Chains A and B, each alone.
Chain A
Amino acid sequence: MIKRVEVNYRGIFQKTLGKYIGGDIVQIASRMGKVAFSNGRYSDSPERNGIPCKYFAFVSPDLSEEELEAECGAKLDIDEADVSVVVDDTMVKGVEPWGWHGVRAINEKLREKGCLLVTSQHSHDQLLTFIPKQPFSWRLATVEGPASLAGLWVYKDDLTRERVLGALAAVDPGIISIEAVESYLLEKTKDKHRAEAARASYDATLRNMRVVKAGEGAEWHHEIPRLPTWKEFESGGVVVPAVPRGFTMGPRGQSRNERFLRGTTKSHRPVVRFDLCIKCTLCWYDCPDECFDPTDDGLYDVNYEVCVGCHKCAEVCPVPECIVMVDELKFDNNDSPWEHHKRDPQGYIKWAEEKKGLERIHYPHVTGTGMEIREGKFVPPKPDKGGPAAGAKA
């Protein structure tokens, strides 16, 4: 028998976390007398910031190391997962790790009765509005808390690792037992609170696990791309046709390669208060992914299909509260915000403020010091559209 675990993580920001969880499973299972090994999906590297990636762990109580390796080792992706761990809940909207791969469902590899284990502050029902339905029944469990997003290559020691291990023992004790998790953490770290965090997470997960019935969940629209046979593409290597340079005015006006949109890379998206915009062009100019589409009225629409949530626009925008990064799970479509604003300016402001809320979460990605939460505020619409912005910095 083989138990397979995949850990879906955000490239670079959670790489070490993913690798640690995979390695911990191997060491805990080994202590229980099982055979185990762990590897990452090799094609995910070189990882880009935030790109959805995977780490795997394979555990068997009865196979030899060689047989386990033969079944699972010489493969680049998992066949099926007993548990799919997701350490950033925004990945439930779908994952596109690289071109050619397409946007794939987060539970694509999950087997019948398997468990999707998500670190999240959202309810099961909220998550299920995004997670595709399956023809069989499966389980959903959450480890309550925000995504553990660290800096570049940095590991953020916020007990996510320990809590995921505890929860894993709850959803499938056939992989690792909670007792083995506790003794491993105690022995390895000598920190009692780490074992306690694992146990608390184990207890909470036993209480909150939910069975998802066949057919329950979201509709899924993305097809898995079919790669051509060797006779079906031009000799001389893989040639990707360039897209024409430039743009036309208006939403989706920027010329872009449709093959690889990268939108599933983001944990947060920029919400723009168009009424506060001073048309300084900085968001459009500094966006590394050319997500902003210039419009006839001098504003900049956002294409959320291609936005990777890098925070750059929010950083350079000189107007307070004009561009704010908001949890990606608060949105159920990638529609043009500018069109919404034009259609119903007052309604758009209300919508944007509801999404923004008052928490301003800041991730200093480079230092890896963890997230910072600041207080936001509501800025009323500009009274005079021709005059200086009400909220412009002095």
Chain B
Amino acid sequence: MATVAETTNVWANELLLNGCQAVAQGVKLANVDVIAAYPIRPYTEVMDQLSKLIADGEFDSEYIVADSEHSQFEIVKHASSVGARAFGGSSGTGWMYGFEALVVAATDRLPPLFVVGNRALDDPGAFGVEHNDALALRDMGWLLCWASTAQEALEHVLIGYRIAEDNRVLMPMALAMDGAFLTHSQHMIKVPTQEAVNTFLPPFNLGKRVLHPDNPVSIAPQVNEDWVMELRRQNWEAARRARTVIPEVYKSFNDLFGPRYANPFFDEFMCEDAEVVLVGLGAVAMPARTAVRRLREQGKKAGYVNLRWFRPFPTEQLRATLGRMKGVGIIDRNFAMGSPDNGGIVVQDIRSCLYPLTKRPVVTDFIGGLGGRDMSIADCVRMFEITFDAAAGQQRDELVTWIGLRE
């Protein structure tokens, strides 16, 4: 069947945009009602671009500059509770400062979208990418996914709202993107038409819970030990249903815009016959996939899994793909200090996801790219070599290897 993209023009134009500007275009196309802003690099350029779009008369939205991230996130949460499509964002320690408001957006089951321009957690002051900021959401009842290109970032503002606002889900959505490499890199980006976006993304309807003078309700009254467990169970149910909704939404997106996403949860690159794969999140996909091509030229069966969705965690899908491998290497652009073997956060989830399998791949972990340190093609080749050796049974003194550390 021909997709709509083949029969009608769903792309309006191609613009030179960096990752932040691409997100701003997505927010405009999603016709977001309320934006709350507070600056911190690298997120700042998202709010700059949105204010410019509004000032230039291209976009009509309530734009509120808050006095801190905590107020900013509270404004977004409250706007969502009145049925507005709401948007916020932050980076690094600013993101951490607003955490109380982030947590309650999830327990209130509201679906705003936040962008996280990944940034190292200070001190000392550091601007470069590190994933600990967004990953801190992992246990909070949020949807959490990574874009690995600016094009994906624009598209995932639309995809994100559609998933989050689905009445089977109603969870807040965090769209993470690597600071610098993605947020501040200018590419030619295809921008969809407003008409196509309107077809893809229906208006937000919070239903009976909407806070409105015509619908007097009280949201989040005090509850005690007699309620909390049931509420958490509902959160889990929503996350479980999200695993069904996500593939539906990607299918709908592919039908409209062309087959852009083969696997909604993660991109598999040369994984069909692979024996060893690396798994990573974000912009490291570029050097990693190039490393795969080079190793394939040498006859090595390498592959790359670009993990897009971290919450909900695609347990079954990862078991199916990674379970076939001899070796799996995890690129953790984060550090879980004091965790088992002192590795990263992502390896903990992947290792426990694979544990129930009777035949398990050898899992190795890499800590790299912290604070924006470069991750080159050569670094990725080296990680593959270590993972191949581990899969072949070579024992290592340390289970976690640091890449690019001055030692």
Q: Which residues on A are within 8 Å of B, measured CB to CB?
A: 19, 22-23, 26-27, 30, 36-40, 42-43, 45-46, 65-67, 69-71, 73-76, 227-231, 237-238
Contact = CB atoms under 8 A, between A and B. Distances in A.
A75 B374 contact: yes
Interface string B358-380: 00000000000000101111000
B407 interface: yes
B186 A230 contact: no
A231 B406 CA distance: 9
Contacts of B187: 26, 37, 65
Contacts of A66: 286, 289-290
Contacts of B156: none
A238 B124 contact: yes
Interface in B154-194: 179-181, 184-188
A230 B406 contact: yes
Interface in B251-295: 283-284, 286-287, 289-290
B186 A38 contact: yes
B372 A67 contact: no
A22 B289 CA distance: 26
Given A74-B283, A74-B287, A42 B406 contact: no
Interface of B: 14, 16, 18, 41-42, 123-124, 127-128, 149, 179-181, 184-188, 283-284, 286-287, 289-290, 372, 374-377, 405-407
A22 B180 contact: no
Given A42-B127, A67-B290, A26 B185 contact: no
Contact of B375 (A19, A36, A37, A74): A74
Contacts of A227: 406
Given A26-B187, A73-B185, A74-B286, A230 B127 contact: no
Contacts of B284: 74
10 contacts: A22-B186, A36-B188, A39-B184, A42-B128, A66-B289, A74-B181, A74-B286, A74-B287, A74-B376, A228-B406
Given A66-B290, A74-B181, A230 B405 contact: yes
Given A37-B185, A37-B188, 5 more contacts: A36-B188, A38-B186, A66-B290, A70-B286, A74-B287
Given A42-B128, A74-B376, A26 B290 contact: no
A39 B283 CA distance: 14
If over half of A's interface residues share one DSSP class (helix, strand or loop), that class is named, otherwise mixed; here it is: mixed
B123 A70 contact: no
Contacts of B290: 66-67, 70-71
A29 to B, nearest CB: 10
Contacts of A23: 16, 186
Contacts of B181: 39, 73-74
Contacts of A39: 18, 180-181, 184-186
B188 A30 contact: yes
Nearest to A68: B286
A36, A66, A70 pick with most chain B CB within 10 angstroms: A70
Nearest to B123: A237
A383 to B, nearest CB: 55
A75 B376 contact: yes
Contacts of B18: 39
A229 B407 contact: yes
B16 A27 contact: yes
Contacts of B405: 230
A231 B124 contact: no
A237 B122 CA distance: 10
Contacts of B123: 237
A122 to B, nearest CB: 32
B283 A37 contact: no
Nearest to A228: B406
B209 to A, nearest CB: 42
A45 B289 CA distance: 29
Contacts of A43: 127-128, 372
A7 B173 CA distance: 38
B407 A231 contact: yes
A69 to B, nearest CB: 4
Nearest to B129: A42
Nearest to A231: B407
B402 to A, nearest CB: 9
Contacts of B185: 37-39, 69, 73
A74 to B, nearest CB: 5
A75 B18 CA distance: 16
A76 B180 contact: yes
Contact of B377 (A19, A46, A65, A71): A71
A228 B407 CA distance: 8
Nearest to B406: A229
Nearest to A238: B124
Contacts of A230: 405-407
A23 B189 CA distance: 12
Nearest to A22: B186
Contacts of A26: 16, 186-188
A27 B124 CA distance: 38
B279 to A, nearest CB: 17
A230 B335 CA distance: 16
Contacts of A27: 16, 188
A19 B179 CA distance: 17
The 6 residue pairs across chains A and B that have the minimum distance between CB atoms = A42-B180, A70-B290, A70-B286, A39-B185, A69-B286, A38-B186
B376 A46 contact: no
